[in-house]
Amino acid sequence: MASLFLIYSFMSSLLATLTVTTATETDIYCLKSIKDSVIDPFGYLNSSWDFGSNNTEGFICGFRGVRCLHDTVGDIRLSGKGLKGQFPLGLENCTSLNGLNFSNNTLQGPIPSDICKRLPYIYDLDLSYNNFSGEIPSSIADCRYLNTLRLDNNKLIGHIPPQIGQLDRMKVFSVANNQLSGPLPNFGAVIPYDSFANNTGLCGMPLKNCSSHQQKFEYSFKGGFVIGYIVFSASVAICFTSYCVPWVYAGEGKKKITILGMMVLMRRRKHKITEDGQAGSSLLEEGTKEVSMLEKRVARMSYADLNDATDNFSEKYVIGQGKMGILYKSSLPNGYVLAVKKLHDFQFLEEQFISELKILGPLRHINLLPLLGFCIEQNQRFLVYQYMPNGNLYDWLHPKEESQEKVMEWGVRVKIAIGIARGLAWIHQNCHTIRVIHLHISSKCILLDRNFQPKLSNFGEAMLMSSTSTSSVNSELWEMAFVKEDVHGFGVVLLELITRVDPGNMTDSSNNVLDEWTDHLLSSSSSHGAIDKSLIGRGFDAEIFLLLEVACRCVDPVPDRRPTMLQVYEDIKAIRERCDLADDSDNLTRPEICPATSEISVEIERAEYL
């Protein structure tokens, strides 16, 4: 019996040792994946999480922000460390993790739809004060141990999944300061009012009661009675259209359409080619076919070359980060400088990746950012552009620190304005086969080369329209519902150039602030106060106010009253001539490089840039 006891004790100790060793190895891999997948601008993880100099058992438990339970990682707290990037998917390797706090960082992208499979024992999850977007995944209700869930101060949209109310351990729940809508779940615990504040679409206790419309929508959603909901929505739309929505006129024939109709048209949108009212098939469905066809026009680049040019995508080469991915500066052996965009998550951005290739890839114009190539490596996607040494317009107008303030002369601002107007007019009207609507114009997507020639970028959410349609009605609707959206975005950029006011302070979700502000600019005798002080009194005051009038026409709340981009280009060109400013790129039309007109011309343009 004594021998059996000793054998049993030895086997138990050995099993426990193997378990701890395995857990430690997976925890090390988990923490390494966090360190590798996020951008750490302040070096918090680099200075504290050292995996090379210490091999003692449980050494990771001494890392800052890491708390262990029996030598395994049980809690990670990285609040307020300035971390950037997306939610680290490698967290699933911390198999005993029950607490995670990423609050007060600048993480972005969606919350993983399978978060509870990755963190099955999580009971305290804090993702507040970040830039997470998209919907709250309904599968988060599978985290059955959750008693604290903080998602406030993000950019989340959609409904709060009703299943969350079934988590009987939930004690703290906060989604304040998002863009959520719909009825609140029925929570077992008492959740205070301020946990849902500043979500204008939410209703139900402890907020205001839901309207009958919201209740009917929720009933339809839950029950699956889609047909009934469509009938209900159509009835409301008809009544609203008949009695509430103003009519506007399109074109010389004065055909009546409603603003509501225009909104519906805008929903028939991105990444589809529309011809005679027929919508094209999804880019995702044709992704493989599209890529193989686009290889004729956009160079497919080697992952090994891009990896070498960025030193394994080292942080020291990072020059920016946007919604789609992280941007790296890289240099080829021949001295050519590139900008390589590594997409955050191909599963969520595959459609934008294909759209960027399909739309921007074949286009060559002095005011469009040249897309030079792409790379597909397993689950990673890369886009390669010509490098723009002067960055984006937003950073010039709104430096992060006053000490970094950069002076932008009036002549440079006019050059940027006329360049973007020229580029937009070209994609709207000058291509023989397709027309392009950007739909996301802002100062952040306007890049500047070494001579401050502006380049329009970020076509991941753009839309293609056929220009061969013979239907005058389609032409009028296209003109009003789509092109005028770009005109409005350009008008906001013009206002930004003139006033240096951040566009976030000009507009709200309904544009009411912008309408009131532009009315004040045009009617007030003291409008000098709104114009950037560095421009006033330098001999161009009259021209500045002329450009201000152009901007206000572009952001007119009635799309039918907004000018076309070609008209805007001509107006700004006349203002530039009054200022006696030269521009050697006054070349609006370049028909020989319109997409699909000539394979040879496209190849020549590619060769010029490569």
Alpha-carbon distance 575 to 577, whole Å? 5
As given in the structure block, the two tokens for residue 343 are 């997409």
CATH tag, 287-609? 1.10.510.10
Q: How much is the pLDDT for 288?
A: 55
Q: Three-state SS for 57?
A: coil
Any idea which residue has 């350009």 for tokens? 490
Digit-coded pLDDT (tens) for 7-50: 444 444 433 343 344 447 888 888 888 888 888 888 888 878 88
DSSP letters for 316-351:
GGEEEE-SSEEEEEEE-TTS-EEEEEEES-HHHHHH
* Percent of the chain predicted with pLDDT > 90: 22
The answer to whether 116 and 140 are in contact (CB under 8 A) is: yes
238 pLDDT higher than 80? no
- For 369-383, letters b (16+ CB in 10 Å) and e give bbbbbbbeeeeebbb
Q: How much is the pLDDT for 216?
A: 42
Pick the CATH number of 18-210 from 3.80.10.10, 3.30.110.70, 3.40.50.150, 3.90.950.20: 3.80.10.10
| Helix (H), strand (E) at residue 360 | helix 346-360
Dihedral sign from CA coordinates of 248, 516, 406, 584? positive
The answer to whether 196 and 216 are in contact (CB under 8 A) is: no
Alpha-carbon distance 481 to 459, whole Å? 18
Q: Which segments are annotated as binding site?
A: 342
Q: How much is the pLDDT for 251?
A: 42
Digit-coded pLDDT (tens) for 417-450: 999 999 999 998 765 556 888 888 999 999 999 9
C-alpha separations of 229 from 20, 209, 225, 245, 373 in Å: 55, 20, 6, 21, 46
Digit-coded pLDDT (tens) for 565-591: 999 999 999 998 887 766 655 544 443
Total Cβ atoms within 10 A of residue 516 = 11
| Helix (H), strand (E) at residue 106 | strand 106-110
| Helix (H), strand (E) at residue 418 | helix 410-429
Residue 582's φ and ψ, nearest 5 degrees, are -90, 150
As a dihedral over the C-alpha atoms of residue 183, residue 187, residue 193, residue 196, rounded to 10 degrees, the angle is -50
The answer to whether 469 and 475 are in contact (CB under 8 A) is: yes
Looking at residue 138, the DSSP 8-state letter turns out to be G
Average pLDDT over residues 228-237: 50
Domains in the chain: boundaries: 18-210, 219-264, 287-609
Q: Which segments are annotated as binding site for ATP?
A: 342
Better-predicted residue by pLDDT, 57 or 384:
384
Q: How much is the pLDDT for 211?
A: 64
The answer to whether 355 and 461 are in contact (CB under 8 A) is: yes
Bridge partner residues of 150 (DSSP): 126, 174
Any idea which residue has 């205070």 for tokens? 192
Q: What is the value of pTM for the model shown?
A: 0.54
* Residues in contact with 552: Cβ distance below 8 Å, sequence separation at least 6, in sequence order: 491, 495, 518, 521, 522
DSSP letters for 442-478:
-GGGEEE-TT--EEE---TT-EEEES----HHHHHHH
The answer to whether 210 and 203 are in contact (CB under 8 A) is: yes
Q: How much is the pLDDT for 233?
A: 53
Alpha-carbon distance 169 to 123, whole Å? 9
DSSP letters for 151-177:
--SSEEEEPPPGGGGG-TT--EEE--S
The mean of the pLDDT values for the chain is: 75
Digit-coded pLDDT (tens) for 81-97: 889 999 988 888 888 88
Alpha-carbon distance 178 to 170, whole Å? 20
At 507, is the pLDDT very low, low, confident or very high (cuts 50, 70, 90)?
low
